[in-house]
Structure 1
Amino acid sequence: MSLKDRLAREIALTGPLSVADYVTRCLHDPQGGYYATRPAIGATGDFITAPMVSQMFGELIGLWTVELWNRLGAPERVRLVEVGPGDGTLMADALRAARVAPEFLQAVDLVLIEPSPPLRQAQARMLADSDVHPRWVASLDRIEIDAPVILIANEVLDCLPARQFIKTEDGWAERCVGVTDAGELIFGLKKITTGFKRPAFDVEPGQTVEISEQQGVFGRETAALIKAASGAALLIDYGRARPEAGDTLQALRRHQKIDPLATPGEADLTQWADFPTVLEAAIHAGADVTGCLGQGEFLGLLGIGARADRLKAGRPDAASTIDRQLARLTAADQMGTLFKACAIFSPHSLVVPGFED
């Protein structure tokens, strides 16, 4: 039985699913979830991430980790953690760039957090010949705190879903996934009577507010780890840098947006990162945070322009391709503005590379 049929039967028996619960099932159901069974990342898959756009992205992250390690006092042991490493491209490029500091690589304990069995296999293949051999753990709370932590989370928050609430003329309602008599999945509204905290910003009737408990938990758990071990977590994702309304649920299949209810488990479902919620949770957990920078500005501060020039000098025949990749990562009308970077760090005196101001 397909995941869609199983969800329809479950909803018919027990009632509508929240959007967050629906997305979680579509992504992680053991028998039919997208990441559990058929993740398709890359140009020939369903979506592409920044590390796959150009080697420059992962290389600059690798140099960022080396500089952060130096600012932490170049400890003899450092735990390099990546959450949601995709197919391993980012970490492979980062470790290659980090060869400029052999003593850093000697200090690294590489830990990957990945719930998807197919992606863990892809990461193992990608990193098989790397300078540092990875190990996998199930969650942030399984990471030891006996060494400083440098954590990378690129396009992780958008996989942590949000519930959706809509302001109507009669008050607030939650958007849920129900089922028709014919067995088709359908969006509907469920009246809210208690337990809903109204947003602190203005919302017009008909607008949607997204609230992600999972993103808040991620911010809190990441901050707890960083506070206990010292170090910093770099978060890069597409999303909002200030509280605001908006329906950001989308499904991608073969790089095209499709109906999120059409083929559960067969497309990637995402919602915007809610950076204010994540950073507020981190502060409450006792860590310090930076503000958000656009990805283009952040990569610019790390030196992506100079890196592109060096690549073009070595490969003049690929100059136009490198220019296109640079624009894809940094241009305001591509990934440069919608995608944002921020950091969670401890101690307070630590100056995180790229966020000096």
Structure 2
Amino acid sequence: MFQIRRCTRIVKTLRSYYTVKSNESVKDPHQVAKQIYSKIKATGPITVAEYMKEVLINPLGGYYMHKDVFGESGDFITSPELNQMFGEMVAIWFLNEWSKVGSPKPIQIVELGPGRGTLSQDLLRVFDHFGALQSATLHLVEVSPLLSDLQARKLCIQSDNIIDKKSVIHRQGISHQGIPVKWYRQLDDVPNCFTLLVAHEFFDALPVHKFQKTKDGYREILIDIDLSKECSFRYVIAREETPASKLYIRPNETREHFEISPESLVLAKQIAERLEIDGGLALIADYGHNGSGTDTFRAFKKHKLHDPLVEPGTADLTADVDFDALSKSATEAGGVITFGPTTQRDFLLKMGIEHRFKALKANAKPDQIEGLEFGYKMMTESNQMGERFKFLALLPAVLEKLLKKYSVAGFH
């Protein structure tokens, strides 16, 4: 998620937000810290990946589970929340590439980690504008009950929680455009169908293992109890090789520090298999690097950098996405081809965001112009989101000849 560097006065004008109170059952802000402390005390140091899981999605006090973390009153803001242009460019990309393969139906739009539902809202609006929602459904992969509720309020005219614990669907509803919307906890549970999948700022929150080069070779960095302070933590270096260091480190690795996200690699394979078997398109957008990133594990709180080991559960934990690793994992079986990563700036400009910005500005009220300009600059300028964020596209390998003739929009 991207750190805000401008006054909140402007942020207020960008999007209107729902206000959702934290779950009243979460009374102790130190609950997650206490659970992690007890776990380490009982079994020894834990991996950064284990720590991230506990901090972010612990059912009782995890960061994403019980509060609205987005926008001015939260800890970060995302491109879709800045204004409608980002979602419109993503929607146009899907419509363009879908039309190249004959616009097969039925289709399902799938978003991983939909946040407040703003990107899906923009996708549905643009698809509906172009009459492209016939035989369409929306599927959201979300583990947070509170965020699911927030998404439903934004996207649906009505929705209901599913009480049946055997059901892989935990919520369902009907969108304002009249199409079915369903919520799942994992991608595996989403039905098989021609899929338009988007993952925006999703992979950066998946757990990572952290490694450091030592005189004895690469060793995993673990998290241990800091005995100098009550219920606090510190980094330690594993004395011996860990299962993760044996399994995931490439033989040609040379970086002093780096992170690996096994869950990200597995998910990239799952997406690839889905596209190969059922057909579809996938677009991954996140901040990251192309295999050169080093020490990127960090936390954000109230739009500022925060120590990841302080007050776990009260700040967002994140690490830069390794797009090179994602691409290699997705293409390993040969069923898909990838395009990118390209910078967010290049992608949005090639998709025509500049023309859309000028059109919106020409028709905007005087009090809306400052917010429009701010959002446009944040998304496209090199020293803001423009260079830090990357886009990666995945398409079935059977389309390779077609895509050589008709290049993929935003990536040529």
Q: Same fold (TM over 0.5)?
A: yes
> Which secondary structure state, in structure 2, belongs to the residue aligned with residue 179 of structure 1?
strand
Residue 168 of structure 1 corresponds to which residue in structure 2?
214
Moved more, 313-322 or 115-124: 313-322
Please tell me whether the aligned partners of residues 219 and 282 of structure 1 are also in contact (alpha carbons under 8 angstroms): yes
> Which secondary structure state, in structure 1, belongs to the residue aligned with residue 54 of structure 2?
helix
Instruction: Select the residue among 97, 118, 124 that pairs with 2:126.
Output: 97
Post-superposition CA distance 1:281-311 (Å, at most 9, x none):
1101321111211001001111100000010
Look up the equivalent residue of 1:143 and give its one-letter code: V
Residue 259 of structure 1 corresponds to which residue in structure 2?
307
Residue 208 of structure 1 corresponds to which residue in structure 2?
257
Q: Give RMSD over aligned pairs.
A: 1.7
Q: Report the CA distance shift for 1:107/1:263 in structure 2 as closer, same or farther (over 3 A).
A: same
Residue 292 of structure 1 corresponds to which residue in structure 2?
341
**1:138 is the counterpart of 2:185:** yes
Whole-angstrom distance in 2 between the partners of 1:98 and 1:334: 29
Look up the equivalent residue of 2:149 and give its one-letter code: Q
Q: Report the CA distance shift for 1:199/1:253 in structure 2 as closer, same or farther (over 3 A).
A: farther
Deviation at 1:234, TM superposition (A): 0.3
Deviation at 1:143, TM superposition (A): 2.3
> Which secondary structure state, in structure 2, belongs to the residue aligned with residue 288 of structure 1?
strand
Instruction: Select the residue among 374, 381, 395 that pairs with 1:324.
Output: 374
**1:238 is the counterpart of 2:283:** no
| Ranges in structure 2 where 5+ consecutive residues have no aligned partner | 1-27, 158-175
| Structure 1 length-normalised TM | 0.93
Residue 159 of structure 1 corresponds to which residue in structure 2?
205
**1:126 is the counterpart of 2:154:** yes
> Which secondary structure state, in structure 2, belongs to the residue aligned with residue 337 of structure 1?
helix
Deviation at 1:57, TM superposition (A): 0.6
Whole-angstrom distance in 1 between the partners of 2:302 and 2:226: 28
Instruction: Select the residue among 318, 340, 348 that pairs with 2:399.
Output: 348
Residue 318 of structure 2 corresponds to which residue in structure 1?
270
Deviation at 1:232, TM superposition (A): 0.9
Look up the equivalent residue of 2:187 and give its one-letter code: L
Moved more, 305-314 or 285-294: 285-294
Residue 388 of structure 2 corresponds to which residue in structure 1?
338
| Structure 2 length-normalised TM | 0.81
Report the count of equivalent residues.
351
> Which secondary structure state, in structure 1, belongs to the residue aligned with residue 379 of structure 2?
helix
**1:187 is the counterpart of 2:235:** yes
Post-superposition CA distance 1:128-176 (Å, at most 9, x none):
242134111222222222x311101000110112111111234322111
**1:229 is the counterpart of 2:278:** yes
Look up the equivalent residue of 2:106 and give its one-letter code: R
| Ranges in structure 1 where 5+ consecutive residues have no aligned partner | none
Q: Report the CA distance shift for 1:80/1:92 in structure 2 as closer, same or farther (over 3 A).
A: same
Whole-angstrom distance in 1 between the partners of 2:212 and 2:187: 33
Whole-angstrom distance in 2 between the partners of 1:164 and 1:199: 16
Deviation at 1:21, TM superposition (A): 0.9
Instruction: Select the residue among 53, 57, 75 that pairs with 2:86.
Output: 57
> Which secondary structure state, in structure 2, belongs to the residue aligned with residue 244 of structure 1?
coil
> Which secondary structure state, in structure 1, belongs to the residue aligned with residue 277 of structure 2?
helix
Q: Report the CA distance shift for 1:193/1:128 in structure 2 as closer, same or farther (over 3 A).
A: closer
Please tell me whether the aligned partners of residues 348 and 410 of structure 2 are also in contact (alpha carbons under 8 angstroms): no
Q: How does 1:76-95 map to 2 (within 5 A)?
A: 76-95=105-124
Whole-angstrom distance in 1 between the partners of 2:278 and 2:216: 49
Whole-angstrom distance in 2 between the partners of 1:258 and 1:66: 39
Look up the equivalent residue of 1:193 and give its one-letter code: E
Residue 15 of structure 2 corresponds to which residue in structure 1?
none
Whole-angstrom distance in 2 between the partners of 1:142 and 1:236: 22
Whole-angstrom distance in 1 between the partners of 2:352 and 2:293: 34
Whole-angstrom distance in 2 between the partners of 1:127 and 1:133: 11
Whole-angstrom distance in 1 between the partners of 2:408 and 2:81: 23
Post-superposition CA distance 1:244-293 (Å, at most 9, x none):
24111111111111111111111111111111111111101321111211
Please tell me whether the aligned partners of residues 127 and 133 of structure 1 are also in contact (alpha carbons under 8 angstroms): no
Whole-angstrom distance in 1 between the partners of 2:261 and 2:65: 21
Instruction: Select the residue among 34, 47, 54 that pairs with 1:25.
Output: 54
Identity %, equivalent residues: 33
Instruction: Select the residue among 298, 301, 304 that pairs with 1:250.
Output: 298
Look up the equivalent residue of 2:309 and give its one-letter code: L
> Which secondary structure state, in structure 2, belongs to the residue aligned with residue 343 of structure 1?
strand
Whole-angstrom distance in 2 between the partners of 1:71 and 1:90: 23
Deviation at 1:337, TM superposition (A): 0.7
